[in-house]
Structure 1
Amino acid sequence: MGIQKDRIRLNVGGKIFETTVTTLANAGRNSLFGAMFDDNWNFQFNNSDEYFIDRNPDCFAVLLDLLRTGELCIPANIPEKLLCREALFYGLLDHIRSAKWGQFDGNRLRHSKSVMGRAPGDGTAIRAGPDGGCCVAHGSMVHVYDWMLEEHPPIHLDYQRVNDVGWIDPGNIVISACERLGRGDGGMGLFSSSTGELRSKFQVTHDNQVKSYTAGALGFSSDYRIFASCKGRSNEYGIGVWDQITGKQIDFFYEPSGWSLGDADKLQWLQGTNCLMVATWFPRKDNCYISLLDFREKRMVWSWSDMGAPVTADGRRVRDAIAMEENSSICVVNEYEGLGFMDLRSRAASVRWSSRSRLMEGKMPDEACYPKLALHEGQLFSSMNDSISVFCGPDWVLTSRLRRSYGGSICDFSIGGDRLFALHSEENVFDIWETPSPPII
C-alpha cells in the first residue's frame, strides 16, 4: 500500500475518527477504502494529516464499528435506510448484509417479513436478485425491490403479458413477453432495475430479417449468455442465444420435429457439461419433454418424454424439473409422489420416484398451485401448496419445512442474495425467509 503508517485520522462531516489502515482494509478492495489505499490511487493527506470525507458522521461511526468487530449495532436514532445509503457510498452493503443474517441454510431459515399488495391473483414469477432484492412479475407488470425491500418504479410493458424475468446483475433485469398479433412489440428486453427504463431489445434474425417473436422461459450462463425459448410466425421456433454485454444474437437452436422448444417452461444452463436443459410440461403441452441441448454440435444429447407412458387416473404429471450435475441426474416433481430422479448417464431414462422424499400426505386442495423446484448450495427445495420442503443428503431426505399461516398456495419461489422469496397466490403477498445471524459471543 502507498500508506506506510498504520494509524490514520479521518474527518467525516466535521467529526474526527482515528483508526488503522488494517481496520479499513477489512472493507475489501472493492470499497472506497480499498481504492484509497491502492498503490495506483493518488491518496493525499491535508496539512493536519487528516483525510476529509463529506458524509454523515453518525452513520460512519456505525460502519467503522462494523469493520472493527464484524457486528452491526444500529442506534435507535439512525434510520436503517439512511445507514444503507451511506454504506452504499462506502461500498459496504455486503458487510451489512453479512452482519444482518447468516450464511444461507434451508434448515435454519426463519420468516422475516411479508410484503403485501403485489401480484394480485395472477402472479407469473418471483425472482431473487443477486444482492438480496427481488422482482415480482404479474400480468404486464414487473415490481422491483432492492435488498432493503424498498420498491423501485415498476416496469410496465403496455399490455404485453410477461412470461419470465431474470437478473443480469443488481442493476439490470431481462424480461420476456408475448408478441401481440400484428404489433411486433413482444420478445425480450433489458431494463434498469432502479428506473424501469428500457435499455435494449434482443432481436431474432432469420434469413437476414428481424422477426417478431414471443419469448418464453429464460436461462443464463456464467459466460454472459442469455437463452430464451422463442416462438415466431414462420420458422423461428426454438432456443435463441444472446450476448449479455452486446445484446447481439449469437446463436439459435431450431426446433426439431416432435419437440416443443419454443414453448419451453424452463431453461437451465449446465456449466460442467456445457449443455442447456430445456423442459416443457403439461398443461402447456399434452406431454412432458425434457432434453439437453449441446450448442457446439447443434444436437440433443439426452432426452426424455412421458409420451406413451401411462398416466394415472388423477392426471398426475411432471410439473417441474431441475438438473443436478454433481449427481448426474434430473429431479422432477408431481403433485403426489413427491420427488423423482432420472439418470443423465442412461439414454433410456425413466423416473425413479423416491419414497423418502414424499412432499405431503392426503388430498390436494381444489385450487393448488403447481409445485416448483430449486437447488441451492447442496440443498433441494420443493414447494407444495402453502409450504416449501427442504431435502438434504445423498438420498434427499426431508429435513425441514417452511410454512406460513396465511397467503394461500405458493405459486413460485426463488433463492438468491442469501434469501428465499415465496410468492403466494391468494392473499396478494410474498414472504421473505432469512437465516438468522450467528449469536454474539
Structure 2
Amino acid sequence: MGIQKDRVRFNVGGRIFETSSTTLANAGRNSFFGAIFDENWTLQSDHSDEYFIDRNPDCFAVILDLLRTGELYIPANIPEKLLYREALFYGLLDHVRSAKWGQFDGNRLQLSESITGQAPGDGTAIRAGPDGGCCVAHGSMVHVYDWMLEEHAPITLDYQRVNDVGWIDSENIVISVCERLGRGDGGMGLFSSSTGELRDKFQVSHENQVKSFTAGALSFSSDYKIFSSCKGRSNEYGIGVWDQVTGKQIDFFYEPPGWSLGDADKLQWLHGSNCLLVATLFPRKDNCYISLLDFRDKKMVWSWSDSGAPITVDEKRVRDAIAMEENSSICVVNEFEDLGFMDLRSTAGSIRWSSRSRLMKGNNNMPDEPCYPKVALHEGQLFSSMNDCISVFCGPEWVLTSRLRHRRSSGGSICDFSIGGDRLFALHSEENVFDIWETRPPPII
C-alpha cells in the first residue's frame, strides 16, 4: 500500500506552501494533516487543490521543514513558545519534542538549564512527568512545570506537609500528605497538573467506617491502581490500594507482626511479578525492612531485614532501594554510595556490596548535610546520587561509566532526582534549585 505522490498546496495566513503527501505522512494519522487523506494516504477527493489554514505562516514553515528533514531549526525571530503552541494545533508536539532532544542515555546527558523555585529552602521531592515536565514538592506546596518548563498554577495543600507526589499521566498528579493533629484531614488527593484543581480524594475505610490516616510513599501499577503506605490512629497500618478511575479503596495489606510497612519510605510496583516492593529505610528506622508483597495471596513472597543478625555498619545504613526485575535482584545504596545487591531468587537475603562508586567522588568540599543517596533504574542504566553528583552505572557488572555534576551550582547537595519524559531532573537541597539534563539528538547525515 504505497503513499501517493500528489503535491499538496497550503495557504497559511496568506503565504503559499507546497509539499508532497509523502512529507505530510510523516506527521502521522492522528495529526491535523492525517485528516485530509484517506486510509491509503490518498488525498480526499472532496477537497480543493488548495487548503487554507488561518495560522502563523512562519511557524508552519518550521513545522513543514521538521516533517521533511526530521530536524528542528527555530529561527531567532520565532519565540519557542509560539512554535510549541502551533505544533500543538497541528498535533505535532511529540515530533517537536523528539527533535529537540534525543533518546535518553545517561552517558550522553548534558545540562540544559537550572531553575530556581519560588520558595527558598529545602525541597521535599522532585518527580519527572511522562511528557518531559516535572513537579517539585516543597513544604505544603507542589510546583508543576510542563515540558516547556513553564510553571503552572501551584498546588497548595492548606499547610499540610507533602510526603510524596506522583504522576498518573500528563494531566493528573497524586499527592500524599500528613494529617494535621486532630483534624482528620490527611490522606491523598488527585489534582489537575495544569490548574491545581482537586479532582478526587482517596479515603481509607475499615468495617464500613472512614478512617483518618497519613499517606506516605506512593506507587502506581499498569492496571490503574494506586498504592500508598498508610498509618492511622486505630492500628490500620499497612499498604492501601485504590482504583485510579473510580477513586475507591479496593484493598489493604495490614502490617505483619515485627515489620514496619506503615512508615515505608519507598514503594515500587513490579510489573513482571505483580508484586509491590516495600522498603523502610535508615534513618526513619534504626533497622531496615525490604519486602515484596503479593496482594493476590495477601502474603510476603520475599523479605530482608538487618534486625536480629550480626551486621556491619554499612549494611545497617541502607538509604535507598530499587528492584531490578530483569536481573532478579534488589539494588541498595548506603551512606558512602556503595551499591549492594540482593538476589531475589535466594531466601538468605544477604547483601553483596560493591565500592566501585567511590572511585570518582563528588565535590569533597560539599558541606556535611543530611542529604541521603538515591538510586534509580532507567532503560538498563543504574543511577545513584551522592553530594552534588549523580553516578551512572552500566553493563552486567554495573561499572561506573560517567558522572553528572553542575559545577557552578550553588544549590547544595542533590536531595532527590527523577527520570522521565527523556529527561533527568535533579533537585538540590539548599535553595530549591533543580537541574534539567537532556540527551542531545544525534546529527542527521
Fold match, TM over 0.5? yes
What does residue 369 of structure 1 align with? 371
What does residue 6 of structure 2 align with? 6
Stretch deviating more after TM superposition (18-27 or 297-306):
18-27
CA pair 283-158 structure 1, distance change in 2 beyond 3 A: same
Which one of the candidate residues 378, 390, 415 is aligned to 1:411? 415
Is residue 122–residue 432 contact of structure 2 (8 Å, CA) maintained in 1?
no
What does residue 304 of structure 2 align with? 304
Q: Where in structure 2 are the equivalents of 1:32-71 lying within 5 Å?
A: 32-37=32-37, 39=39, 48-71=48-71
Question: Displacement of 1:31 after TM fit?
Answer: 2.1
What does residue 401 of structure 2 align with? 399
SS of 2:107 mapped into structure 1: coil
Scaled by the length of structure 2, the TM-score of the pair is 0.93
What does residue 431 of structure 2 align with? 427
| Structure 2 residue 230 is matched with structure 1 residue 266 | no
What does residue 195 of structure 1 align with? 195
Is residue 38–residue 44 contact of structure 2 (8 Å, CA) maintained in 1?
no
Q: Deviations over 1:147-198 (max 9, x none)?
A: 1101001000000100000011111111111111222221111111111000
Stretch deviating more after TM superposition (177-186 or 340-349):
177-186
CA pair 290-56 structure 1, distance change in 2 beyond 3 A: same
CA distance in 2, matches of 1:322, 1:313: 20
Question: Displacement of 1:354 after TM fit?
Answer: 1.4
Q: Where in structure 2 are the equivalents of 1:20-419 lying within 5 Å?
A: 20-37=20-37, 39=39, 48-118=48-118, 120-310=120-310, 312=312, 317-336=317-336, 338-358=338-358, 365-405=367-407, 406=409, 407-419=411-423
Amino acid at match of 1:428: N
Amino acid at match of 1:396: W
Question: Displacement of 1:310 after TM fit?
Answer: 4.5
Amino acid at match of 1:232: G
CA pair 137-122 structure 1, distance change in 2 beyond 3 A: same
Is residue 338–residue 358 contact of structure 2 (8 Å, CA) maintained in 1?
yes
CA distance in 2, matches of 1:343, 1:272: 16
CA distance in 2, matches of 1:107, 1:205: 47
Question: Displacement of 1:316 after TM fit?
Answer: 5.8
Question: Displacement of 1:312 after TM fit?
Answer: 5.0
Is residue 62–residue 73 contact of structure 1 (8 Å, CA) maintained in 2?
yes
Is residue 5–residue 22 contact of structure 2 (8 Å, CA) maintained in 1?
no
CA distance in 1, matches of 2:73, 2:132: 20
Question: Displacement of 1:423 after TM fit?
Answer: 0.3
CA pair 194-307 structure 1, distance change in 2 beyond 3 A: same
CA distance in 1, matches of 2:342, 2:30: 43
CA pair 215-418 structure 1, distance change in 2 beyond 3 A: same
Is residue 215–residue 229 contact of structure 2 (8 Å, CA) maintained in 1?
yes
Question: Displacement of 1:5 after TM fit?
Answer: 6.7
Unaligned segments of structure 1, at least 5 residues: none
Is residue 311–residue 317 contact of structure 1 (8 Å, CA) maintained in 2?
no
CA distance in 1, matches of 2:119, 2:420: 20
SS of 2:106 mapped into structure 1: coil
Stretch deviating more after TM superposition (406-415 or 246-255):
246-255
Is residue 337–residue 359 contact of structure 1 (8 Å, CA) maintained in 2?
no
CA pair 333-131 structure 1, distance change in 2 beyond 3 A: same
Is residue 337–residue 384 contact of structure 2 (8 Å, CA) maintained in 1?
no
RMSD over aligned Cα atoms: 2.3
Question: Displacement of 1:365 after TM fit?
Answer: 4.6
Is residue 338–residue 359 contact of structure 1 (8 Å, CA) maintained in 2?
no
Question: Displacement of 1:47 after TM fit?
Answer: 6.9
SS of 2:58 mapped into structure 1: helix
Question: Displacement of 1:54 after TM fit?
Answer: 2.2
CA distance in 1, matches of 2:295, 2:383: 29
CA distance in 1, matches of 2:55, 2:153: 27
CA pair 55-166 structure 1, distance change in 2 beyond 3 A: same
Q: Deviations over 1:387-416 (max 9, x none)?
A: 000000000010000011222100000001
Q: Aligned residues: percent identity?
A: 85
Count of residue pairs brought into register by the alignment: 440
CA distance in 2, matches of 1:6, 1:293: 58
CA distance in 2, matches of 1:105, 1:47: 45
